Amino acid sequence: MILKTYTAATFEEALKKIKADLGDDAFIVSSKKVKKGRFFSFFKKEVYEVTAAIDNTPPKKEQKFKQAIEQYSSISKEKPKEAELEERVKKLEQMLLTVKDDAFEKLIQQIKGDINDLKTAITQAKKDTEVDISKIPLGMNRYFAYMCSLGIKKKYAYKIALGVYRNLDKNRLNDDEYVKEYLSLVISQFFKQSRPSQKTIILLGPTGVGKTTTLAKLAAIYKLKKDKKVGIITTDTYRIGAVDQLLNYAKIMDIPAVVSITKEDFKSSLTDLKDRDIVLVDTVGRSPRDIKRLIELFEIFKGQPALHFSLVMATNIKEEDNLNSFKEFSKLPINDIIFTKVDETKTPGSMLNIAVKTKKSIFYVSYGQDVPEDIIEAEPLKISSLIIKGEVKNG
């Protein structure tokens, strides 16, 4: 490991020196203000003294693991519900043979739709043991399958399908736009919107979920759209590149930004930004499995009053991993969730599953890299519209 100390008039100048010398992968070990000048001088100048390090040991070669081979076995025994569904298909097909008059064209189309719907149900039933597909009304099976394809858990999709069927106009079951609009309305009931009352909002989460970009979007929204005085604190000093990126964002938006390394630094930073309406705090990404590092992160905020903790979850990673992150980060009082990278997943329905499982309200949903456009406040109908129709519901 290479360890070096740099002196500069400002913290930003020290960062530039470190970046030029050690690169983006360097991390800050310590930072302090010191007075320097001639030995007998009464006018010593205050400067920043920053110590940084970089690991110069070559990375270990990745170990090779044998590929696991999964064994699949087919069950030849027919389930009763499948037999019942297939019998219903045969009866409907027989009805088609007996209907020949043009006056019954509408009935023929309805029966064909019912047959296709039943075939969808049979396909689902053959691979499903979680819910009884045979109880889903005709016309709703394809929407049940559609919700499942979006990542919504089957038990939730099943309840939603039944609820939608009980309330919508049955004559419009073949109107996809109408039914999906109704699905969005029902699904919106699963979400609660978060409205933080504290002015200091801390973004937590593992590495790579988009905390820094999300913080920049929030800073722009609060300043440009909500006309708030914004301040930024970053405790993510592990990577010089991350600090540099956030300070550049702050400079462009003319927002004061400070770097905090220790618990004392953080307390001092809050004091420096006490005139701000909103203070947004970026944190270093920590693996939920790295308990020691998580404890170090949590220590910075311990004992500080009036903090709001938002856990950032990327929707393009496994739902199981997101829930594990929630479990570990919940050692801090998590107030709400921010979902990111919705544009990078084919299963946005996991947001519904997580909202139900964690019982947490949602603060914001981010779906792109543009600052501050690609982010929305978590109004329930906007989230459900994003899930079902892949678009943001306006108004």
Q: What crossing angle do the helices spanning 291-301 and 263-272 adopt, rounded to 10°?
A: 40
Model confidence pLDDT, tens digit, residues 191-200: 999 999 999 9
Please tell me the predicted confidence (pLDDT) of residue 32.
78
Please tell me the predicted confidence (pLDDT) of residue 36.
72
Please tell me the predicted confidence (pLDDT) of residue 244.
82
Q: What burial class does residue 317 get, using C-beta atoms within 10 Å of its C-beta: 0-12 exposed, 13-18 middle, 19+ buried?
A: middle
pLDDT for residue 314 is more than 50: yes
Please tell me the predicted confidence (pLDDT) of residue 41.
46
Please tell me the predicted confidence (pLDDT) of residue 278.
97
Cβ atoms of residues 203 and 282 within 8 Å:
yes
Q: Between the ranges 10-24, 66-80, 346-360, where is the mean pLDDT highest? A: 346-360
Instruction: Enter the tokens of residue 157.
Output: 């999709």
Question: Based on C-alpha coordinates, what's the Rg of the chain?
Answer: 28
Instruction: Enter the tokens of residue 161.
Output: 């399908």
Higher pLDDT, 89 or 184: 184
Higher pLDDT, 30 or 322: 322
pLDDT for residue 361 is more than 70: yes
Integer Cα distance of 239 and 340 in angstroms: 21
pLDDT for residue 220 is more than 70: yes
pLDDT for residue 75 is more than 50: no
pTM score > 0.75 for this model? no
Please tell me the predicted confidence (pLDDT) of residue 40.
47
Please tell me the predicted confidence (pLDDT) of residue 70.
35
Protein fold of 200-389? Rossmann fold (3.40.50)
Interval 10-20 mean pLDDT: 84
Exposure pattern of 12-21 as b/e (b: 16+ CB <10 Å)?
A: bebbeebbee
Cβ atoms of residues 144 and 157 within 8 Å:
yes
Q: Nearest Cα to 173, choosing from 92, 103, 123, 109?
A: 109
Please tell me the predicted confidence (pLDDT) of residue 47.
84
Higher pLDDT, 32 or 168: 168
Integer Cα distance of 255 and 335 in angstroms: 25
Parse the chain into domains and list their residue ranges: 2-54, 80-190, 200-389
N-terminal to C-terminal alpha carbon distance within the chain: 55
Res. 236 pLDDT band, cuts 50 70 90: confident
Res. 62 pLDDT band, cuts 50 70 90: very low
Q: What are phi and psi for residue 197, nearest 5 degrees? A: -100, -20
The residues, ordered by sequence, that sit 6+ positions from 232 with a Cβ below 8 Å of its Cβ are 215, 219, 246, 249, 250, 255, 256, 257, 258, 279, 280, 281, 282
The residues, ordered by sequence, that sit 6+ positions from 23 with a Cβ below 8 Å of its Cβ are 54, 240
The residues, ordered by sequence, that sit 6+ positions from 255 with a Cβ below 8 Å of its Cβ are 219, 223, 230, 231, 232, 249
Higher pLDDT, 19 or 385: 385
Res. 223 pLDDT band, cuts 50 70 90: very high
Please tell me the predicted confidence (pLDDT) of residue 108.
55
Please tell me the predicted confidence (pLDDT) of residue 67.
36
Integer Cα distance of 376 and 393 in angstroms: 10
Percent of the chain predicted with pLDDT > 70 = 73
Is the Cα torsion angle 174, 157, 169, 123 positive or negative in sign?
positive
Is the Cα torsion angle 166, 168, 172, 177 positive or negative in sign?
negative
Q: What burial class does residue 238 get, using C-beta atoms within 10 Å of its C-beta: 0-12 exposed, 13-18 middle, 19+ buried?
A: middle
pLDDT for residue 97 is more than 70: no
Cβ atoms of residues 388 and 183 within 8 Å:
yes
Instruction: Enter the tokens of residue 69.
Output: 């081979």
pLDDT for residue 339 is more than 60: yes
Please tell me the predicted confidence (pLDDT) of residue 298.
81
DSSP E strand stretches across the chain: 2-8, 27-36, 45-54, 200-204, 230-234, 257-259, 278-282, 307-314, 334-340, 361-366, 375-377
Cβ atoms of residues 348 and 336 within 8 Å:
no
DSSP E strand stretches across 178-330: 200-204, 230-234, 257-259, 278-282, 307-314
